């Protein structure tokens, strides 16, 4: 029988493992893919292309003019201080990243190269990403997504309003990126700083205007991530590509999806915007569309310290706020000599909490014997979005009696142990894993796993889509819901909780957590190459164990209810029988009116025979 490409790949890998004895107990537990750095090639600028890059100046250089206004009593500017506290600036210091990087390199040899493209971009383009564990990076590389990287980035697509030098730069790129993602950036070899304006005060460096700085595609460079060792098959599955070769198409939508934040936005209503956020996002401009509109809100200020610096009414504050309000504490502990300013970090944490609290709208209502909770996604991407492993959002419901004593709780979280009760609430998250073929090749058990460099199946993704969501478009970008269903246009989710009869009030909370205990423990226990997992675990314990952030809360009074009392007269009798003529819906089908909720004994959102049987049991004898 002739073998297909994916089967041939498995046979080759199996032979490798047998020949090298790789199926020892330890490797079978973790799994190892004999990839090479060629498997993780992406288009754009390359460290080995022969192009000579003028030095990428450190952030300390930029700090001299963009930290405070020396002509206004050293008033802090919204450029350097905001950026330094952000996770953009700390991408190369993040201990969660380093622990993940170690596992990635264990699982798929040299896969760390694709991680360092964004987490230490200046080091990568200057050839310091080999070895791919980051051990060759210097202190300046720890600035991650630094000033020089963004302000020397070139639009890979030549446009009529591109800077005049871009044509020559792009002509010297052997392989241009197929689409934004995977750190496939194009950088100007010259230290020509690019910005969004066509006028500037006299400065100590060369500059030019580039519309790309305000394009969401610039952000997409690092905020769509795909695994190139897999190729999408016609049936939607992902098979291993040929060994020691770049991905056959270079198209990220043909690779296994890890993060799709940019593509989620690209297929949202925001991409076709602008949308009036009502002041929720955008700073002094509530009309928002691009990533920058929300994550770099507009303010009126000067961008640098100079007596002739103009006051811009649309200056992009370099907030870069996302959902991380925890890792900053670990970084301050681990890098006391890197010139990090605690006040900048505290401000960044506060901004992240604020961003999370503006990300959704929470609505709560009582429908008979159950509580109806709706979370509406107000962002331009899934909620939550980004790197999936360990990241989650959940609903917590606390119920109290007339004496204000607790009578029940759903989605309880123990801050001391960092453990979440998962069986009685809804958790918004994505779970990845491996299929039978990859399991056979690597030794990782079939099913859910945190081995992101090996995962090739999506087992769950119930994260809430953004405005403008359609199933067809999200299928195209490999971001469709899994084990969840959202109709086209739906950017909210509803959950029901059964009310105990003693409850007189309810408080509903929505929490977000950067990293679960299971994920942190995995990164510690699976590490066999360095101490990154141990360092992370120690810091995790020291800094509150990735404390959940309260995104939204709502308290309501519970009105008196009686299960089975359809007409509301507080009695369960034959007069309520009419409800079973008006309300039956069948399993899985919503009932036609809110009053029908009184007959939904199991609070599952439908009325069927089990509910009727329970009503008959409660009906008093005649």
Q: Splitting the chain (622 residues) into consecutive groups of 10 residues, what average pLDDT does each group show?
A: 41 42 36 89 94 94 95 95 98 99 98 98 97 97 97 98 97 97 98 93 90 98 99 97 96 99 99 95 97 98 93 97 98 98 99 99 94 98 98 99 96 98 97 96 95 98 99 98 98 95 96 99 98 99 99 97 75 80 79 75 81 84 74
Say if 589 falls within a structural domain: yes
Say whether both 320 and 384 belong to one domain: no
Given 345, 376, 408, the domain boundary residue is 345
Say whether both 591 and 470 belong to one domain: no
For residue 259, which of 441, 92, 434, 455 has the smallest C-alpha distance? 455
Given 345, 371, 397, the domain boundary residue is 345
Say whether both 171 and 314 belong to one domain: yes
Say whether both 327 and 412 belong to one domain: no
Say whether both 607 and 466 belong to one domain: no
Say if 4 falls within a structural domain: no
Say whether both 502 and 611 belong to one domain: no
Given 345, 367, 392, the domain boundary residue is 345
In angstroms, rounded to a whole number, what is the distance separating the alpha carbons of residues 235 and 223?
26
Say if 21 falls within a structural domain: no
Say whether both 200 and 293 belong to one domain: yes
Say if 605 falls within a structural domain: yes
In angstroms, rounded to a whole number, what is the distance separating the alpha carbons of residues 622 and 620?
6
DSSP symbol at 503: -
Say whether both 271 and 376 belong to one domain: no
What is the residue range of 527's domain?
355-557
Say if 207 falls within a structural domain: yes
> Residue 482 pairs with which residues in a beta bridge?
461
Token pair of 104 as six digits: 């990635």
In angstroms, rounded to a whole number, what is the distance separating the alpha carbons of residues 475 and 421?
31
Say if 15 falls within a structural domain: no
Q: Is 356 helix (H, G, I), strand (E, B) or coil?
A: helix
Q: Count the domains in the chain.
A: 3
Say if 7 falls within a structural domain: no
Say whether both 265 and 404 belong to one domain: no
Say whether both 341 and 399 belong to one domain: no
Say if 599 falls within a structural domain: yes
Say whether both 448 and 302 belong to one domain: no
CA distances from residue 449 to 35, 307, 392, 575 in whole angstroms, order as listed: 19, 56, 15, 54
In angstroms, rounded to a whole number, what is the distance separating the alpha carbons of residues 577 and 565?
9
Residue 587 main-chain phi, psi, to 5 deg:
-55, 130
Angle at 25 between CA 19 and CA 26, to 5 degrees: 95
Q: What is the pTM of this model?
A: 0.90
Say whether both 528 and 380 belong to one domain: yes
């Amino acid at each position: 029988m002739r073998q297909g490409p994916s089967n041939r790949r498995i046979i080759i890998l199996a032979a490798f493992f047998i020949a090298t004895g790789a199926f020892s107990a330890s490797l079978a537990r973790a799994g190892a893919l004999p990839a090479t750095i060629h498997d993780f090639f992406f288009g754009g600028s390359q460290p080995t292309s022969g192009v000579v890059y003028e030095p990428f100046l450190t952030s300390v250089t930029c700090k001299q003019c963009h930290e405070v206004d020396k002509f206004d009593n050293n008033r802090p500017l919204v450029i350097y201080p905001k950026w330094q506290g952000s996770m953009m600036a700390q991408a190369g210091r993040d201990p969660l990243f380093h622990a993940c990087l170690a596992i990635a390199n264990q699982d798929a040899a040299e896969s760390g190269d694709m991680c360092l493209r964004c987490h230490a971009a200046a080091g990568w383009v200057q050839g310091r990403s080999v070895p791919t564990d980051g051990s060759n990076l210097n202190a300046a590389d720890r600035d991650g997504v630094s000033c020089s990287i963004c302000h020397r980035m070139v639009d890979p697509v030549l446009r009529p309003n591109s800077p005049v030098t871009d044509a020559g730069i792009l002509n010297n790129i052997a392989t241009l990126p197929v689409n934004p993602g995977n750190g496939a950036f194009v950088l100007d070899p010259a230290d020509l700083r690019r910005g969004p304006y066509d006028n500037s005060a006299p400065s100590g460096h060369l500059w030019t205007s580039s519309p790309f700085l305000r394009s969401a595609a610039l952000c997409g460079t690092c905020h769509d991530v795909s695994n190139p060792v897999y190729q999408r098959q016609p049936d939607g599955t992902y098979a291993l590509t040929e060994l020691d070769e770049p991905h056959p198409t270079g198209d990220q939508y043909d690779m296994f999806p890890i993060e799709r934040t940019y593509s989620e936005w690209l297929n949202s209503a925001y991409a076709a915007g602008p949308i009036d956020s009502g002041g929720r996002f955008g700073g002094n401009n509530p009309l928002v569309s691009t990533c920058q509109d929300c994550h770099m809100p507009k303010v009126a200020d000067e961008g640098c310290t100079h007596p002739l610096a103009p006051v811009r009414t649309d200056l992009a504050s370099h907030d870069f706020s996302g959902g991380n309000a925890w890792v900053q504490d670990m970084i301050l502990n681990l890098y006391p000599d890197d010139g990090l300013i605690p006040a900048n970090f505290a401000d960044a944490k506060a901004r992240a909490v604020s961003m999370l609290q503006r990300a959704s709208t929470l609505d709560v209502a009582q429908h008979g014997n159950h509580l109806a909770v709706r979370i509406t996604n107000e962002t331009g991407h899934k909620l939550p979005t980004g790197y999936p492993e360990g990241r989650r959002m959940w609903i917590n419901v606390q119920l109290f009696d007339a004496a204000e004593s607790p009578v029940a709780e759903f989605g309880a979280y123990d801050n001391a142990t960092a453990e979440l009760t998962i069986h009685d609430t809804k958790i918004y998250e994505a779970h990845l894993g491996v299929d039978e073929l990859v399991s056979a090749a690597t030794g990782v058990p079939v099913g859910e796993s945190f081995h992101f460099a090996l995962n090739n199946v999506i087992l769950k993704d119930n994260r809430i889509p953004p405005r403008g969501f359609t199933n067809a478009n999200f299928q195209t970008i490999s971001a469709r819901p899994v084990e969840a269903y959202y109709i086209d246009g739906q950017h909210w989710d509803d959950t029901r909780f059964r009310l105990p009869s003693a409850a007189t009030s309810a408080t509903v909370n929505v929490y977000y957590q950067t990293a679960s205990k299971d994920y942190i423990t995995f990164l510690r226990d699976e590490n066999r190459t360095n101490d990154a997992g141990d360092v992370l675990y120690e810091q995790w314990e020291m800094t509150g164990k990735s404390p959940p952030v309260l995104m939204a809360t709502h308290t309501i009074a519970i009105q008196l209810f009686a299960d089975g009392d359809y007409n509301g007269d507080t009695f369960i009798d034959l007069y309520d029988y009419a409800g079973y003529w008006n309300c039956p819906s069948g399993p899985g089908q919503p009932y036609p009116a809110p009053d029908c909720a009184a007959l939904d004994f199991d609070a599952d959102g439908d009325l069927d025979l089990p509910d009727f049987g329970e009503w008959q049991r409660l009906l008093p004898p005649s």
